[in-house]
Chain A
């Protein structure tokens, strides 16, 4: 069961007799018009959260099926993308339990205490793939917040609602996620032989 009462009380259609197919089609089209444009966002987030492209495809499809089944509970005019992300994280949690050995990274406080260092400049020679690798290495709960806030540009409040956590938790996880991501990027930069102890970060991020 996936109750997604993002906003309760969407108008309920009474469908009778010969109007069934016509009315049903209009609901399908309405759903597709609302939800399909966000498919890339959902797919990317699913892959990044799960760390696996094929699982990302499965979960993205699952998100849309669940959204379709619950579409009567979605209120038109509200944020469909946020609603889909909420379903996404519900599905991810569901699948994580099912898959059992979800590749979670260490999330202990000690891990962060040891990883916390000052921000380092990152070379523009670092590729997108390496950035994604660095992103995939940070713990899932921090990665989720970084994806929602920094990539999908959800407000803290929206991210909190999607994840079902307090807004303070979102802010805290975001800070830790960003710090961890910078740390991993710094390691990659060092592997390229770039001296991360010199220069300013802003210059290093710019790709011209």
Chain B
């Protein structure tokens, strides 16, 4: 017999000469009957990977929402957001964009829109006629949420805000200040309809179309797709211009 085989045989014989004491097996059987089994665990990947993915998606979602202007609850954070998106559009476009975001996007909405009488009162006699002037050019599914005169960054505005089909849009009218003119600037109109040059811009989800009258800058700011916003502005520009010319 090979030496290693004999070596192992003697070793095994010696080790196996020891038997477990007779009490050990029943003791173990008793213990395991008393000991509750650990509930089957989900594997590490089954628990942590979905949890971490969910947390990462949540963080990402919150981050993106914050970047897009949601979850801005303090005035400072709202102003910071307006400043950050305004910096990405031309200076003259900032006028309408800022008032739309400040007044319509961050505004705390009433559960139900106020009655028309309130809009008429808030607009004042000078601009109350705007409501019927635009109504027939806006889809019926849109309802007026806000119509008033307001002030933002030391500038007065006439502001009408409408919602419908999950969209928020604003018609923002500002008095021209000295030197303010799209035509005088380097801006080129994106199109001219009914003799009215219409200027276009946009940032993030906001589409901005604007035209100017003799004494006013008029903006349509919404989260509609750019071409839809433009189509709406084409429809609104003539009655708005006519209304403002008559003032």
Q: A residues within 8 Å of B by Cβ?
A: 8-10, 12-13, 24, 27-28, 31-32, 36, 39-40, 43-44, 47-48, 57, 60-61, 64-65, 68-73, 119, 122, 128-129, 131-132, 135, 146-147, 150-151, 178, 181-182, 200-202, 205-207
- With A43-B24, A64-B31 known as contacts, the answer to whether A72 contacts B10 (CB < 8 A) is no
**Complex: how many Å from CA A84 to CA B9?**
23
Q: Is B31 touching A57 in the complex (CB atoms < 8 A)?
A: no
Contact B11 A36 (CB under 8 A): no
Contacts A61-B28, A131-B10, A151-B11 given; indicate if A69 touches B18 (C-beta within 8 A). no
Whether, in the assembled complex, B1 has its beta carbon less than 8 Å from a beta carbon of chain A, the answer is yes
Inter-chain contacts of B15 with A (CB < 8 A): 44, 48, 132, 135, 147, 151
Are A151 and B38 interface neighbours, CB within 8 A? no
A-B contact pairs, 24 of them (CB 8 A): A13-B40, A28-B32, A39-B20, A43-B19, A44-B20, A47-B18, A60-B24, A61-B31, A64-B31, A65-B35, A71-B37, A72-B38, A73-B41, A128-B14, A131-B14, A132-B15, A132-B18, A135-B11, A150-B8, A150-B12, A151-B16, A201-B6, A202-B1, A202-B6
A24–B35 Cα gap in the complex (Å)?
12
Smallest CB separation, A17 vs chain B (Å): 16
B6-53 with Cβ < 8 A to chain A? 6-21, 24-25, 27-29, 31-33, 35, 37-41, 43
Chain B residues with CB under 8 Å of A182's CB are 7
B40 x A72 contact (CB < 8 A): yes
Kindly identify which residue among A64, A70, A128, A150 contacts B28, using a CB–CB cutoff of 8 Å: A64
> With A32-B29, A151-B15 given, is the CB distance from A39 to B37 under 8 Å?
no
Cα–Cα, bound, A182→B40 (Å) = 47
Pairs A-B, 5 closest by C-beta atoms: A205-B6, A131-B14, A128-B14, A43-B20, A72-B40
- Docked-complex contact B7 and A69, CB < 8 angstroms: no
> What B residues does A150 contact at CB under 8 A?
7-8, 11-12
- Which of B15, B18, B19, B37: most chain A Cβ within 10 A? B15
- Option from A31, A36, A70 in Cβ contact (under 8 Å) with B38: A70
| B117 CB–A CB distance under 8 Å | no
Give min CB distance, A128 to chain B, whole Å: 4
Interface residues on B, range: 35 or more
Chain B residue nearest to A43 (CB atoms) is B20
Residues of A within 8 A of B24 (CB): 39, 43, 57, 60-61
Partner of B11, one of A47, A60, A73, A146: A146
- Find the B residue at minimum CB distance from A69: B38
Contact (Cβ within 8 A) A8 B43: yes
Contact of A128 among B8, B17, B19 (CB under 8 A): B17
Report whether A44 and B16 are in contact in the complex, using a CB–CB cutoff of 8 Å.
yes
Residues in A neighbouring B32, C-beta threshold 8 A:
28, 31-32, 64-65, 68
Report B134 CB to chain A, min CB distance, Å.
63
Taking CB atoms, residues of chain A closer than 8 Å to B2 are 202
Give chain B nearest CB distance to A2 CB in angstroms.
10
CB distance from B22 to the nearest CB of A (A): 11
Chain B residue numbers with a CB within 8 Å of A60 are: 20, 24, 28
Q: Given A48-B15, A61-B31, A39 and B3 touching (CB < 8 A)?
A: no
Question: Which residue from chain B places its CB closest to the CB of A146 in the assembled complex?
Answer: B11
Which B167-181 residues sit within 8 Å CB-CB of chain A?
Answer: none
A28 to B37, CA, bound (A): 9
Contact (Cβ within 8 A) A28 B3? no
Contacts of B13 in A (CB 8 A): 128
Q: Are B20 and A178 in contact (CB under 8 A)?
A: no
Instruction: With CB as the reference atom, state the residue of chain B lying closest to A126.
Output: B10
Whether B31 pairs with A65 at a CB distance below 8 angstroms is: yes
Within 8 Å CB of A146, what residues of B? 11
**How near does chain B come to A9, taking the closest CB pair, in angstroms?**
7
Give bound CA distance, A27 to B37, whole Å.
10
Docked pose: A70 CA to B38 CA in angstroms: 7
Taking a contact as CB atoms closer than 8 A, the residue among A47, A61, A128, A135 that contacts B27 in the complex is A61
Q: Is the CB of A205 within 8 A of B14?
A: no
Known: A44-B16, A65-B31, A146-B11. 18 other contacts (CB 8 A): A24-B37, A40-B16, A43-B20, A44-B18, A57-B24, A69-B35, A70-B38, A72-B37, A72-B40, A128-B14, A135-B14, A135-B15, A151-B16, A178-B4, A178-B7, A201-B3, A205-B3, A207-B10
